[in-house]
Structure 1
């Protein structure tokens, strides 16, 4: 990662990550995913509600496949990054924020998932702020998210952080949420 990526607020640590604290006082550690995180990420998705799995992957699935887990842990760290949030035990993943950018790094798409027992504690809010700062430090101009219109919590959170909602082309069940970072 570029050194400028580490300019976002939070305590810098040796693994390229940092500690973040939510408005509720919950502190957690965020760092980029590594190939050896696959088993922990699989366990994480077993603790995400079925509805949140549907919202995250925009379709019905009961379990995240090995292929998807590999794609989320073996990223290029230039155009794609998967930021993992860990509980204070350092082992339990409590959230993931995937950022996928176009080839020019002008536009990035974010997708966030939160472990069920950590919802409504400010984790999603801090993860979105963190990934937006991360994307901006990489030079990304526009951050987007594609949401199910039924995902009211995520849409509300994004709107509170300055994103703007618009209709998604050719699919009335989805909404495009966009924020210009520059």
Structure 2
């Protein structure tokens, strides 16, 4: 299905069409995905100015936009255990989503967090992006993909359950849920 993203050639590498992977959602909406580069901070900042306050609270445990330091952290990736992706609407070049994935040192478990532009919710972007990430992490040998969700984030929890994530209570915080997807299963079930 989706192919592995080509790795940035250097810190100053500007993405080209070869760096993009085009995904089509269940609703027929097409968008492009690529790994972030160090030059993407303004695009990420713009994205987060279009994320609903509740979604911001679910993503960062605060309704405020991420700080410069938080944006830099999202861009500080090694393209192995830590990756950050942006999704772009091809017709407008608007950044419509960001996904950050971080694996443990053994590269067996990875946690994913996704933020969506409010105008692109309900088009299947979250589902397609999460599926793409699951495929990429499975190719790397990651066995379990995790997501930590606020119990009030019913939309994300339902999407992840539809994809096969198993939900359990998050130890130490009754307001959170741990959702886990076994990536060792046949990827056609993802």
Conserved? CA contact 1:29–1:90, under 8 Å: no
Conserved? CA contact 2:110–2:145, under 8 Å: yes
Work out the CA distance in 1 between the residues paired with 2:172 and 2:42.
Answer: 36
Conserved? CA contact 1:27–1:88, under 8 Å: yes
User: How does the TM-score come out when normalised to structure 2?
Assistant: 0.87
The alignment of Structure 1 onto Structure 2 pairs a total of residues equal to: 171
Say if 2:51 is the partner of 1:52: no
- 1:14 — aligned with what? 18
Work out the CA distance in 2 between the residues paired with 1:55 and 1:86.
Answer: 22
1:30-57: CA deviation from partner (whole Å, max 9, x where unpaired): 0001011100100000000000001111
Conserved? CA contact 1:5–1:138, under 8 Å: no
Work out the CA distance in 1 between the residues paired with 2:123 and 2:34.
Answer: 19
- 2:14 — aligned with what? none
| Superposition RMSD in Å | 1.2
| Unaligned ranges ≥5, structure 2 | 6-16, 185-190
Q: 1:175 aligns to what SS in structure 2? A: strand
User: How does the TM-score come out when normalised to structure 1?
Assistant: 0.90
User: How far did residue 5 of structure 1 move?
Assistant: 3.1
- Aligned with residue 165 of structure 2, among 147, 163, 166: 163
Q: How does 1:59-74 map to 2 (within 5 A)?
A: 59-74=61-76
Conserved? CA contact 1:40–1:91, under 8 Å: no
User: How far did residue 90 of structure 1 move?
Assistant: 5.9
1:126-146: CA deviation from partner (whole Å, max 9, x where unpaired): 011000001101110000000
User: How far did residue 25 of structure 1 move?
Assistant: 1.3
Say if 2:123 is the partner of 1:124: no
1:84-122: CA deviation from partner (whole Å, max 9, x where unpaired): 100114631101111000011000000011100000110
